[in-house]
Amino acid sequence: MDRIRITGGHRLNGSIPISGAKNAALPLMIASLLTSETLTLENVPDLADVALLKRILGNHGVDYTVNGKRIGESGHAGETLNFRAEEIVDTTAPYDLVSRMRASFWVIGPLVARMHEARVSLPGGCAIGTRPVDFFLHGMEGLGAKIELESGYVLASAPGGLKGGRVRFPSVSVGATHTVMMAATLARGETVIENAAREPEIQDLAACLIKMGAQIEGAGTDTIHIQGVDSLHGCTHSVLPDRIETGTYAMAVAATGGDVTLEGVRADLLQNALDVLVQAGVEITETNHGLRIYRNGAGLAPVKVTTAPFPGFPTDLQAQLMALITRADGRSEITETIFENRFMHVAELARLGADIHLDGQRATVTGVKSLKGAPVMATDLRASVSLVIAGLVADGETTINRVYHLDRGFEKLEQKLSACGAEIERLRA
């Protein structure tokens, strides 16, 4: 199993191109099930989760091709993928695939919308929390689908097709909003989704669906109106830049010091997180190329943060922020409100010398003068990259095990950091 070895103490200087967002690319790929025509997606990141979803879609009969990069195009510009689901050959999403990536459960919406039936495995548990599918099933029932559970599978059917309806989620769910929004595009009549997720990835999916012929209003607010249409067509759409990758590298620069421009980003996608970095003493300015992140010698101030759905502080940046503030001058607090088990990185940060006290869903972090390199183990995607940030500032050598988690969400991480002066390398198994 691959490992990553880091020798800490090097400032980061230069530029880092930001990849397309994984959390936007996955639902966009699934949307290809809604049409028999070609959906072309640009700026798709080369990640393990994307590769797995290609396999899952292929199981349903989706063909895909990859366009080569144009002359002079950046090596980090992302792939252009063409998806064509001319014929859905199988409406079953099997356990051996769905169990490896929860987002694959979202195929239930497009499959029922287009084929009027789906048999999708329950995704099971997850390292950062249970994340039940109740909201998904509630939403599909709101569109007239009949739901049955059988031997670990969800059997969803709508023999006459889905019908528009009013769906109100008990609490905000990004995945359920994606799923119901896709399903409603082909439902008869109007659908209203209340207490909808407002994340940029929801807006990106809506923009693509509108290009495909869907009638959607209100994406980005808590109420989305969708007027169903008979069919959707193909289109070309570019995946928005990854706000979590942007925040992660911003925090890496803030932790190590230095001066780095994050290229091709949009500040509006993560303004709350940027505001927190400014409170901590980091200088951030917008340039013609992206965001300049700068910290040269000044100490880090403590912060108090509570994770929340967009536009609040993202739970997917909580672990990275914790790694950063282990070096702050004072005591910080982080309260996690999204997932019930997302502090597993605390024990590994403690191995590097961090001073962190847990009280339920609140972590109190007292800054220390230095971290010391040590062997650590990644427990999930965002936790693993928090250990990278800690390793970049720790004295000596840090070895991170189980880095396959990183490959799920960060494209060319070692290359991007080493190009800015980090001493980081992958040790192949």
**What is the torsional sign of CA 246, 304, 352, 347?**
negative
Tell me phi and psi for residue 178, to 5 degrees: -55, -50
Statement: residue 353 has pLDDT above 80? yes
CATH code for residues 3-18+241-427: 3.65.10.10
State the virtual CA torsion across 170, 174, 179, 180 in degrees, nearest 10: 40
Following CA atoms 367, 371, 377, 379 in sequence, which dihedral angle do they give, to the nearest 10 degrees?
Answer: 20
What gap in Å lies between CA 56 and CA 33, rounded to an integer? 11
Give CA–CA dist 146/287, Å, rounded: 52
pLDDT tens per residue across span 117-163: 999 998 854 443 445 689 999 999 999 999 999 998 999 999 999 99
CA 56/CA 283 separation, integer angstroms? 43
Residue position matching structure tokens 């009280």: 359
- Predicted pLDDT of residue 281: 96
Where residue 296 falls among pLDDT bands split at 50, 70, 90? confident
pLDDT at 68 over 80: no
Q: In the structure, what pLDDT confidence band is assigned to residue 383 with cuts at 50, 70 and 90?
A: confident
In this predicted structure, what is the pLDDT of residue 127? 44
Contact of 16 with 420, CB cutoff 8 Å: yes
Give me 12's structure tokens. 């980061």
Q: Kindly report, residue by residue over 229-284, the tens digit of the pLDDT.
A: 999 999 999 999 999 999 999 999 999 999 999 999 999 999 999 999 999 999 99
Residues 5-19 have pLDDT tens digits of 999 999 999 999 999
The two beta strands, 235-238 and 223-227, are: unpaired
pLDDT at 216 over 60: yes
pLDDT at 399 exceeding the cut of 60: yes
In this prediction, residue 204 has a pLDDT band, given cuts at 50, 70 and 90, of very high
Residue 168 has pLDDT above 70, yes or no: yes
Going by the annotation, the residues of the binding site for phosphoenolpyruvate are 22-23
Mean pLDDT of 157-173: 96
What does the pLDDT read at residue 78? 85
Task: Give the start-to-end residue ranges of the domains of the chain.
Answer: 3-18+241-427, 22-230
The band of 74, judged by pLDDT with boundaries at 50, 70 and 90, is low
Dist CA 5 CA 78 (whole Å)? 26
- The model's confidence at residue 77, banded by pLDDT at 50, 70 and 90, is low
Check: CB of residue 251 under 8 Å from CB of residue 276: no
208-246 in b/e burial notation, b at 16+ Cβ within 10 A? Answer: bbbebbbebeebbeeebbbbbeeebebbebbbbbbbbbb
Please state which CATH number belongs to domain 22-230: 3.65.10.10
Secondary structure (3-state) at 126:
coil
Position 208 pLDDT exceeds 90: yes
Strand, coil or helix: what is 261? strand
pLDDT above 60 for 403: yes
- pTM of the predicted structure, to 2 decimals: 0.94
Q: Lowest mean pLDDT: which of 122-131, 304-313, 326-335?
A: 122-131
pLDDT, average across residues 362-382: 93
| AA letter at 390 | A
Q: Of 425, 332, 329, 334, whose CA–CA distance to 382 is shortest?
A: 334
Which uninterrupted H or E stretch holds 327?
none
> Does pLDDT of 341 surpass 80?
no
Q: How many beta carbons lie within 10 A of that of residue 353, not counting itself?
A: 17
What residue spans of 143-189 are helical by DSSP H? 174-184
Mean pLDDT over 287-306 rounds to 93
pLDDT value of position 126: 43
The single-letter code of the amino acid at 281 is: G
| pLDDT on residue 100 | 87
Largest pairwise CA distance in the chain: 66
Q: Is the pLDDT of residue 75 over 80?
A: no
Pairing of strands 304-306, 362-366: unpaired
3-state secondary structure 50-79: HHHHHHHHHHHCCEEEEECCCCCCCCCCCE
* Catalytic residue set: 126
pLDDT at 72: 52
Query: Which residues define the annotated binding site for UDP-N-acetyl-alpha-D-glucosamine?
Result: 102, 316, 338
What pLDDT is recorded for position 130? 46
User: What length does the chain have?
Assistant: 429
**Dihedral over Cα of 403, 409, 415, 419: its sign:** negative
- What gap in Å lies between CA 222 and CA 418, rounded to an integer? 41
Tokens of 271: 């303004």
**Cα 256 from Cα 278, distance rounded (Å):** 15
Binding residues: 22-23, 102, 316, 338
